[in-house]
Amino acid sequence: MVAQNIAFGIIAVIMVVGALRVVTVNNVVHAALWLVLVLAGAAAQYILLAAEFVAVTQVLVYIGAVMVLFLFGTMLTRAQLGKEKQLNNPTWYFGIPASLLLLGVMILALTSSFGDEKLPTDSELVSTQAISDQIFGPYLLPFWALSFVLLAAIIGAIVLARKD
């Protein structure tokens, strides 16, 4: 249990620092690389939460596909890849009180409702078979809807990004 807590602490610090760098750094490519760190940390947290299939999917889809999309989007929409001064809104400082207020409310609600409730320690890794039994059983209809969403997204992206 102590080892898990230490691992959680290290990964959590890496994730929070990476996320802060994503929203503060003045270079889009660097922000994308910091985002890779946050996403990899999230995958590690999923493994700590006994969700290996979701962790592997996170690495495949986010770090593999979404980050490539982001880097392509950066390359296609910007003349220079260096620093840029105009990355923030003129009124960017309004975000600080808004997010701190939100964080305060959330932490207050979480501590008052969950306190120091512990996660079960004897749980096994959730098998991929159990997940697929759920997806292709009770959650089949959302799965179909999701495949239509992906189809629509693919067609929409092609139509939007076409030259003529």
Partner 1 sequence: MLVNQFLILAAVLFCIGVYGVIARRNAVMVLMSIELILNSVNINFLAFALRNGSVDGHVFALYIIAVAAAEVGVGLALVLLVYRNRKSIALDELSEMKG
Residues 48-107 that bind partner 1 (CB under 8 A): 48-51, 53-54, 57-58, 61-62, 65-66, 69-70, 72-74, 76-77, 84, 86-90, 92-96, 98-100, 102-103, 106-107
CB neighbour list of residue 33: distance below 8 Å, 6 or more residues apart? none
By CB under 8 A, the count of residues binding partner 1 is 88
At its nearest, how many Å lie between partner 1 and the CB of residue 163? 9
| 3-state class (DSSP) for residue 31 | helix
At its nearest, how many Å lie between partner 1 and the CB of residue 74? 6
- Among residues 126, 146, 129, the alpha carbon closest in space to that of 137 is found at 129
At its nearest, how many Å lie between partner 1 and the CB of residue 80? 13
Query: Cα–Cα distance between 159 and 154 in angstroms, integer?
Result: 9
Tokens of 7: 């691992």
Window 140-159: residues binding partner 1 (CB under 8 A): 142-143, 146, 149-150, 152-154, 156-158
Residues 37-76 as b/e (b if ≥16 CB within 10 A, e otherwise) read bbbbbbbbbbbeeebebbbeebeeebbeeebeebbeeeee
Query: Cα–Cα distance between 21 and 31 in angstroms, integer?
Result: 7
Which CB atom, from 80 or from 123, has the smaller least distance to partner 1? 123
At its nearest, how many Å lie between partner 1 and the CB of residue 5? 6
Window 122-141: residues binding partner 1 (CB under 8 A): 123, 126, 130-131, 133-135, 139
Window 6-35: residues binding partner 1 (CB under 8 A): 8, 12, 15-16, 19-20, 22-23, 28, 31-32, 35
